[in-house]
Amino acid sequence: MNLISLCLFRRRLRISNGDVPFRSVAGFIFNEEFTGSLVWFSSLKHMVDKVCLNGKAAFQECSRSVAGFIFNEEFTGSLVWFSSLKHMVDKVCLNGKAAFQECSRSVAGFIFNEEFTGSLVWFSSLKHMVDKVCLNGKAAFQECSRSVAGFIFNEEFTGSLVWFSSLKHMVDKVCLNGKAPFDI
């Protein structure tokens, strides 16, 4: 991002600061390969300060473009996917919204502990999720002593966000039903 773009971005952010679409927002950012540590930003300001302006987050490997999600703190509303840091700044930070169609094909998602700490776990399909997460009762967490939480959505990252608040909730509402989107 050049200096002119950065100044314009900061100016627009200040102008819209009192009217953030979701009030305060939260989300994740990580590299395109879904490897490395999960980065959590607790507000739009936090995201801008720690992610957008720096161009880096707590990645061990972030040499290429980054990707992530943004949504409101209550985990309701549409999922927003940004395919690069520039896309995030253009489509998320400045506009603060995106629209998606409902999903109808295969699903994919993440699971991690409630504190949003530990390694990110990616499952590429519903079967993968059932095999690797639900049936084992564990994921690739170093600290997963309490209930876990996560997301499920279709592989194209379109459609409604589905949040499950515990492993039991995920098994009951996601794995047993075997469909998406879910009515939670």
Q: Give 166-180 pLDDT, tens digit per residue.
A: 544 544 444 444 433
Q: Give dist(CA 57, CA 82) in Å, integer.
A: 15
**Half-sphere exposure of 74 toward its Cβ, with a 13 Å CA cutoff?**
5
Work out the pLDDT band at 85, boundaries 50, 70, 90. very low
Last residue of a domain, one of 94, 125, 149: 94
Residue 181 lies in a domain: no
| Other CB atoms within 10 A of residue 58 CB | 14
Q: How many domains does the chain have?
A: 2
Mark whether 131 and 70 lie in a shared domain: no
What is the distance between the alpha carbons of residues 76 and 86, in angstroms, rounded to a whole number?
25
Pick the last residue of a domain from 49, 71, 94: 94
Mean of the pLDDT values across residues 20-31?
37
38 or 141: which leads in pLDDT: 38
82 and 33 co-located in one domain: yes
Please report which helix (H) or strand (E) contains residue 7, including its range: helix 3-16
Is 136 part of a structural domain of the chain?
A: yes
Exposure on the CB side of residue 175, measured as CA atoms within 13 A:
20
**Higher local confidence (pLDDT), 9 or 88:** 88
Same domain membership, residue 35 and residue 8: yes
**Residues 121 and 74 reside in one and the same domain:** no
Which residue did the predictor score with more confidence, 41 or 113?
Answer: 41
Who's near 36: CB < 8 A, 6+ residues apart? 30, 59, 60, 61, 62, 120
User: In terms of domains, do 15 and 37 share one?
Assistant: yes
Q: Of 94, 124, 142, which marks where a domain is finished?
A: 94
With cut-offs at 50, 70 and 90, classify the pLDDT of residue 13: very low
Closest CA to 94 of 3, 5, 4, 2: 5
Query: pTM of this prediction?
Result: 0.21
Residue 114 falls within a domain, yes or no? Answer: yes
Q: Which domain holds residue 14?
A: 3-94
Domain contains 19: yes
Q: With respect to residue 74, please indicate whether it lies within any of the assigned structural domains.
A: yes
CB burial of 106-138 (b: ≥16 within 10 Å; e: otherwise) equals ebbbbbbbeeeebbbbbbeebeebbebbbeeee
Tokens 């927003």 appear where? 80
Tens digits of residue pLDDT in 92-145: 333 333 222 222 223 344 444 333 333 344 445 444 544 444 444 443 332 333
Whether residue 156 sits in one domain with residue 86? no
Task: Please indicate, yes or no, whether residues 86 and 157 belong to a single structural domain of this protein.
Answer: no
Residues 90 and 130 in one domain: no
R_g of the chain, CA atoms, integer Å:
17
Domain identity same for 54 and 31:
yes
Give a yes or no: residue 102 inside a domain. Answer: no
Give residue 156's pLDDT: 40
Structural domain contains residue 67: yes
Same domain, 34 and 78: yes
∠ Cα 38 120 58 (to 5°): 20
**66 and 115 share a domain?**
no
Within a domain: residue 8? yes
Looking at the fold, whether 87 and 117 belong to one and the same domain comes out as no
How far is the C-alpha of 146 from the C-alpha of 128, rounded, in Å? 22
